[in-house]
Amino acid sequence: MLNKYPLWKNALIVLILLIGGLYAAPNLYPDDYAVQISGSRAAYTVDQQMLNRVTKQLQAEGLVSKESELNGTSGLIRFSDSTTQLEAKETVSRILGDNYVVALNLAPTTPEWLTSVGAGPMKLGLDLRGGVHFLLEVDMAQAVAQRLDVYVGEIKAKLRAEKLRYRSVVHREDGSLELKFSKADVRDEASQLLKQDYTEFLLTDEDADDAYYVVVSLLESKVREIEDYAIKQNLTTLRNRVNELGVAEPLVQRQGRNRIVVQLPGIQDAAAAKRIIGKTANLEFRLEAKTDASSASTETYTFRDSSRRATLEKDIIITGSSVSNAQSTFDENGQPQVSITLDSKGGELMNRTTRNAVKRRMAVLFVEHKSRNLVKTVDGEQVTERVPYVEKHIISLATIQSILGSSFRITGLDGAGEASELALLLRAGALAAPIYFVEERTVGPSLGEQNIELGITSVQIGFALVLLFMLVYYRVFGLLANVALTLNLVLLLAVMSIMSATLTLPGIAGIVLTVGMAVDANVLIFSRIKEELANGLPPQSAINAGFERAFTTIFDANITTLLAAVILFAMGTGPVKGFAITLSVGIVTSMFTAIMVTRALVNLTYGGRTLNKLSI
Amino acid sequence: MASEKNFNFMGLRKIAAGLSIVVLLISVASLAMNGLKFGLDFTGGSLVEVGYEQSPDLNEIRGKLQSAGYEDAVVQTFGSPVDILIRLGQSHDPKLGDQVLSVLETGEDQELTLRRNEYVGAQVGEELREQGGLGLLLALFMVMVYVAFRFQLKFSVGAVAALAHDVLIVLGVFSLFKLDFDLTVLAALLAVIGYSLNDTIVVSDRIRENFRMVRKATPVEIMNISLNQTLGRTIVTSLTTLLVLTALAVFGGELIHGFAIALLIGVLVGTYSSIYVAANVLLAMGVCKEDLMPPEKEDEEVDERP
């Protein structure tokens, strides 16, 4: 029979709408201000006992929490306002010390029965709700020092190649290099050579009683260049890391000469983000020193998980920056390991070194740049000073079984969690220079509360006007279309929430366009029905023909737009992505509601009856 | 009712083509000479942090800054309600902080402190410009391929021509009137592409149908019949979209203004282009009945129906 959906089709539509309603519901609950605690390494975990202790101590200091809860390996303490949240964060990090990461967060208040089916609210972007703000400082002195270390190697090689005998090439405290020679004419020749080859050097000759020196310092413009490079490289690495975290719509931006701002919207796992972003971990691969090696060319380090020690050669074979890919896997005994692939240069170095070192042992050294805050009293005022320091521990020391090439594995890690974290860090790239957290705050929405309210109100007014217009113009059919249009918004919200997409202003643009396209689909159908009626078809056949004939048009128009949206999503970043997500989701949901739901409603209203006239 | 009217759309096509070409030339010329006035999001600028004693009204701050000539200021709370972060499009200047502070101090009975005055980089870097541009080109290409496959190559040229026409004109208007081009306008531009594409395909679809169904009609007549048949729908859809956009422009406040204006222009131009650009290009390429015959397999379409 015309215009009658089979029961299963109606049931399917109702089922989809119910599920949609369920998953859209969490958006009705506002978020809590919260402080999140997690271990700074996978080895440190948070338990209920510790949470209770912390909340008790907070209460003693007059900071009342609403609730505290445990989520796997991290804890969450909720507060009713942002001022308490900020004070509590300071207090908690003081109580727990360095081994835990304490971060600000916004926690959803979705009721348990909703979270138990995996429902959660949609995230709002930085422009609409603000988020967590990290200010990072790049250690420029380190960036320059690292570059100078590379020059040391280069200069040595060059002097050797030219057969110019030097006594030493060292890196001075003041950031210059000191080349020591025993003969003045050799010194002059070397000085001449360097002047030719390096325009970025500032060379001064110094004579002492028993030796002749060339002091090499870098031109200011070269220092700037190194610093700019360090910042750019770090920006890229941080963007990679943030992307690996799966944070939608982040902001990574340079600020001032040596700082980087990272802003993450809303309710991410801020503690994990802080841990990953802030990690300046790197790896160094070194050979174990031979027993007869001189102490000047060796260094002794402890293992990470025990007080055992090992003496290693000072020379580094390669560092983590030569790693082109890293995956965490398990070995045949079920122990976590990281499979590493090196770039061609790194592979060559590794190959050359291990060729003469089979049966010797190679260490993987875990290097972490950290900083601690020292509170000093200067002129009666408390000043917090950040003191950077470097921690180096051996994570594995294994016998080289055969010559290594560009791919091999590291074992001896703390657990699967650590293996995957290490792999992520190696994959996301090394930082060109260490970074330190200078500041962590929550920022308000950049668009401003009132602007957002105005925006939302205007969208509502616009939506109401559309509903009114449809009702007046198409009467009963308009009413049915309006129901479908409203359901479309619910579904859109539900899908966005399920995908945990982030809504931003460009996303709202996508929604506005979706409303337009959903209306368009119904308009296409209804004007076809009108046309068919004008051509003399009876009402029931006109309805049927209208839906059927408009379908190809709607299909083509929507698929074309969807295609464009999907490509924009794949290629775009930030705002373009946000727009593309809402638009793609909106097209799919609007095709469902504008065609299927409207049809079902029309069928329920008119189907199976004898009609003389249609209210359209 | 609208479908009973019978406008001779294509009678005006030469005039429309002339008009389009003139407007496009003006747009391109303006873009070449004036360029676009990129907003803070794209160019970077300065950052000033001010500490208040009591939490201030952010909108008052915005108002003060605006009347002092800092029109594109982004004002937000920073960490607490009394710490205010202000981002400005001005290039960095050590004196800027004090200037901003003195603007904010007027008529204020509390003490303000300048916390910070620094340079900030662009929010969207080269990455977006490069990737975004490439993405746009790829999207256009894929649209062409799809339309060529579903319709015919001439239709895909028409659709892409209409798209390029609309985007260039919206950009031209922003360049000519020196309106701020920021992220929201970029979003609007993307929405214009979506709308224009939708509109063009709907019209093309009817043209294809009529080429197959109507016997004995010249291409110009087919165009006219199709445009008249879709006119009712075109007007209603444009009208509803314009309703939403007008509401945004009127009630949406300062920040959505650029967005709403861009979309308003885009929808108007997009509606015009689906009538005059797409159809005109089709005619100029000599589209004819044979281009669409034999029809694609009908049974395939039946499967796709609801």
Question: Could you say which of B142, B230, B255 has the minimum Cβ distance to residue A567?
Answer: B142
Q: What is the pTM of this model?
A: 0.70
How far is residue B145's CA from residue A139's CA, in Å, rounded to a whole number? 50
pLDDT of residue A607: 85
Peptide bond into A6 cis (omega under 30): no
One-letter identity of residue B60: E
- Is residue B242 within 8 angstroms of chain A, CB to CB? no
What's the token pair of residue A350?
């590794």
Report the residue of B190, B214, B234, B296 to disrupt the A interface, i.e. the one with the largest count of A CBs within 10 Å: B190
pLDDT of residue A476: 93
Which residues 6+ apart lie within 8 Å of B62 measured at CB? A448, B73, B75, B254
Q: Are strands A361-378 and A282-287 parallel, antiparallel or unpaired?
A: antiparallel
How far is residue A495's CA from residue A510's CA, in Å, rounded to a whole number? 14
**Cβ count near A90 (within 10 Å):** 12
Closest CA of chain A from B104, distance in Å = 18
Is A454–B229 a contact, with Cβ atoms under 8 angstroms apart? no
What's the token pair of residue A148?
């100078």
Q: Which residues of B touch A251 (CB under 8 A)?
A: 123
**Alpha helices, H only, B10-152:** 13-33, 40-43, 58-67, 96-105, 126-150
Q: Which residue of B has its CA nearest to A6?
A: B306
One-letter identity of residue B293: M
SS3 helix, strand, coil % of chain A, rounded to 5? Answer: 50, 25, 25
Is B233–A572 a contact, with Cβ atoms under 8 angstroms apart? no
How far is residue B43's CA from residue B129's CA, in Å, rounded to a whole number? 12
Closest CA of chain B from A308, distance in Å = 45
Three-state SS for B117-157 is EEEECCCCCHHHHHHHHHHHHHHHHHHHHHHHHHCCHHHHH
pLDDT of residue A421: 72
Q: Which residues of A touch B164 (CB under 8 A)?
A: none
Task: Give the residues of chain A that fall short of pLDDT 70.
Answer: 1, 41-43, 244-249, 266-270, 280-281, 321, 371, 373, 381-382, 384, 386, 412-414, 425, 428-430, 432, 444-451, 572-575
Give the range with max mean pLDDT: A423-437, A557-571, B193-207, B250-264.
B193-207
**Residues A246-303 pLDDT 10s:** 666 678 888 877 888 888 876 556 677 777 777 766 778 888 888 887 777 788 998 8
Q: Residue B300 pLDDT more than 50? A: no
**Residues B146-165 pLDDT 10s:** 999 988 899 999 999 999 99
**Cβ count near A493 (within 10 Å):** 23
pLDDT of residue A266: 61
- Is residue B300 within 8 angstroms of chain A, CB to CB? no
As a whole number, mean pLDDT of residues B253-262 equals 80
Q: Which residue of B has its CA nearest to A441?
A: B79
Q: How far is CA B197 from CA A211, A441, A518, A556, B201, in A?
A: 78, 43, 15, 10, 6
Q: Compute the residue count for chain A.
A: 616
What's the token pair of residue A66?
């609403």
Dihedral angle of Cα A571, A572, A576, A578, to the nearest 10 degrees: 80
- The DSSP H or E segment spanning A103 is strand A100-107
Contact A328, A416 (CB under 8 A): yes
Quote the DSSP letter at residue B297.
Answer: P
Three-state SS for A412-476 is CCCCHHHHHHHHHHHHCCCCCCCEEEEEEEEECCCCCHHHHHHHHHHHHHHHHHHHHHHHHHHHH
How far is residue B142's CA from residue B193's CA, in Å, rounded to a whole number? 14
Question: Between residues 19 and 38 of chain B, which touch chain A (CB distance below 8 Å)?
Answer: none
Q: Which residue of B has its CA nearest to A257?
A: B119
What's the token pair of residue A11?
């049931």
Q: Which residue of B has its CA nearest to A459?
A: B248
**Residues A475-508 pLDDT 10s:** 999 999 999 999 999 999 999 888 877 787 777 7
How far is residue B189's CA from residue A31's CA, in Å, rounded to a whole number? 33
Dihedral angle of Cα B10, B14, B15, B16, to the nearest 10 degrees: 60
Is B191–A512 a contact, with Cβ atoms under 8 angstroms apart? yes
- Is residue B295 within 8 angstroms of chain A, CB to CB? no
Complete edge-to-edge strand list for the sheet that includes strand A407-410: A323-330, A336-342, A407-410
pLDDT of residue B1: 39
pLDDT of residue A437: 80
ipTM of the complex: 0.82
Q: Give residue B2's pLDDT band: very low, low, confident or very high (50, 70, 90).
A: very low
Count A/B contacts: CB-CB distance under 8 Å: 257
SS3 A219: coil
Q: Compute the residue count for chain B.
A: 306
Burial class (CB in 10 A: 0-12, 13-18, 19+), B90: middle
Q: Are strands A74-79 and A123-124 parallel, antiparallel or unpaired?
A: unpaired
Is B77–A444 a contact, with Cβ atoms under 8 angstroms apart? yes
Q: Which residues of A touch B253 (CB under 8 A)?
A: 450-451, 454-455, 458
- Is residue B52 within 8 angstroms of chain A, CB to CB? no
Q: Which residues of B touch A466 (CB under 8 A)?
A: 240, 243-244
Q: Give strand pairing partners of A170.
A: A178
**Alpha helices, H only, B214-297:** 219-251, 254-284
Contact A550, A531 (CB under 8 A): no
- Reference A145, options A106, A184, A118, A172; nearest CA is A172
One-letter identity of residue A411: T
Return the residue matching tokens 């979209």.
B241
Q: Which residue of A has its CA nearest to B159?
A: A560
Question: Between residues 158 and 177 of chain B, which touch chain A (CB distance below 8 Å)?
Answer: 159
Q: Which residue of B has its CA nearest to A466?
A: B240
Question: Could you say which of B132, B233, B248 has the minimum Cβ distance to residue A524?
Answer: B233
Is A86–B80 a contact, with Cβ atoms under 8 angstroms apart? yes
How far is residue A190's CA from residue A166's CA, in Å, rounded to a whole number? 9
How far is residue A599's CA from residue A601's CA, in Å, rounded to a whole number? 5
- Is residue B123 within 8 angstroms of chain A, CB to CB? yes
Write out the DSSP string of A66-94: SEEEEETTEEEEEESSHHHHHHHHHHHHH
Judged by average pLDDT, the poorest of A11-15, A261-265, B77-81, B221-225 is B77-81
Q: Which residues of B touch A586 (CB under 8 A)?
A: none
**Measured CA angle at B175 (ends B172, B178), to 5 deg:** 145
SS3 helix, strand, coil % of chain B, rounded to 5? Answer: 70, 10, 20
Write out the DSSP string of A148-190: HHHHHHHHHHHHHHTT---SEEEE-TTS-EEEEES-HHHHHHH
